[in-house]
Amino acid sequence: RVRAGLLEFEFPEMQITVDSAGRPIDIEAVEVTWAHELIEDFMIAANCYVAKRFHDLGAPLIYRVHEQPDIERLKSFIAVLRRLISIQMPKPAALMDVAGLAEILDRFKELPEGDILSGLLLRSLAKARYDTRCLGHFGLNEPYYSHYTAPIRRYADLIVHRVVRAYIAGRVPIKSKWVANLPQIAEHISETERNSMDAERASNDLRVAEYMSERIGERYPAIISGMHRAGFFCRLPNAVEGMVPYRLLGDYYDYDELTMTARGQSSGFELRLGMRVTVQVVEADPIRRSVTFYWFDQDEMVERARSTRSKAKRSSGKKADKNTAEPKSTARKTKGSTKPTKTKKKRK
């Protein structure tokens, strides 16, 4: 599958451990192992086979489709990327191909902020959904794909199982029965999937806020994982995320949505994705499901950046003075004369 080309996104997954009363007692980032990847490969192989088999039979089925990305969204992604990292970027049209995007993802893996950049790319792509039309799966680079099996059973799997069972049993009315119902079912489970993802996210945010409420005042190394007009988001090593509001900073920061950066009005310091900072927990509200951080080492980082800029200016100023100074004559002077004598060039 890798040789054929596919998009492999690697994000830190959060695992929340709770006690017998349901209170969170530990949060850690879970590493994806080769065993996870092996099970995933088996799952994808089965899903592809069922989708192709039923497509060739002309039998009705619900497919998992992931369409090509929008070119304008890819242009915006590249504009942000050029501002963040200095790597040779392909043209947006090249990223309409899975191989082009896979190459970019491979480059991201070599960078400390690679998963942050991968997240930006993922948000630039179309969202997968269910459809009765076989439109292919762009991310997996598969022309036929369905949700037939998974470690966590979905309703789409159950629907496909019913269709497969009906076909194996040789029930003739299968086509007329399912053709009328499947389009509505596909639309419905696409919507309920989005709802369930929102619910899962809200549940995790609630547990995270409860967990961090016991750690007010503690400091953590973090990486800037997102930018917003109200502040910037930071992610801790255990995958916990929270926001640093600009109102808590010692400067007014102007947010640039195009480049996803924020620049201090008086300091000139630029905040950007992937930057390493130290944060302190100042608030965790389970009701609002939010965690608020304070940028603890801002004075040190701003002063260090200011010192670096000052040295660079002095260095460039000295070079400019040296370049504009009147050049000294290299001609030899004869004794008793103020006029330089011209030296003859030797001919070779």
Element (H, E) at 130: strand 129-131
pLDDT given at position 331: 43
The distance from CA 205 to its chain's CA centroid, rounded to whole angstroms, is 19
pLDDT given at position 318: 55
pLDDT given at position 243: 98
Give the whole-angstrom CA distance, residue 143 versus residue 52: 8
Q: What domains appear along the chain, each with residue ranges and CATH number? A: 13-67+126-212 (no CATH), 217-301 (2.40.50.140)
pLDDT in tens, the chain (348 residues): 667 778 888 788 899 999 999 999 999 998 888 898 899 999 999 999 999 999 998 889 999 999 999 988 888 888 888 877 776 777 777 777 888 888 888 888 888 788 888 988 999 999 999 999 999 999 999 999 999 998 888 999 999 999 898 888 876 556 677 788 899 999 999 999 999 999 999 999 999 999 999 999 999 999 999 999 999 999 999 999 999 999 999 899 999 988 889 999 988 999 998 899 999 999 999 999 999 999 999 988 888 877 776 665 656 655 555 555 555 544 444 344 334 334 444 444
pLDDT given at position 325: 54
- Residue burial 215-254, b: 16+ Cβ < 10 Å; e: rest: eeeeebebbbbbbeeebbbbbbebbbbbbbbbeebebebe
pLDDT given at position 222: 96
Give the whole-angstrom CA distance, residue 147 versus residue 47: 6
| 167 CB-near residues (< 8 Å, 6+ apart) | 54, 57, 59, 174
Q: Sign of the C-alpha dihedral, residues 53, 58, 64, 66? A: positive
**263 φ, ψ (degrees, to nearest 5):** -120, 135
The distance from CA 202 to its chain's CA centroid, rounded to whole angstroms, is 20
Hey, what amino acid is at 129?
A: R
| 322 CB-near residues (< 8 Å, 6+ apart) | none
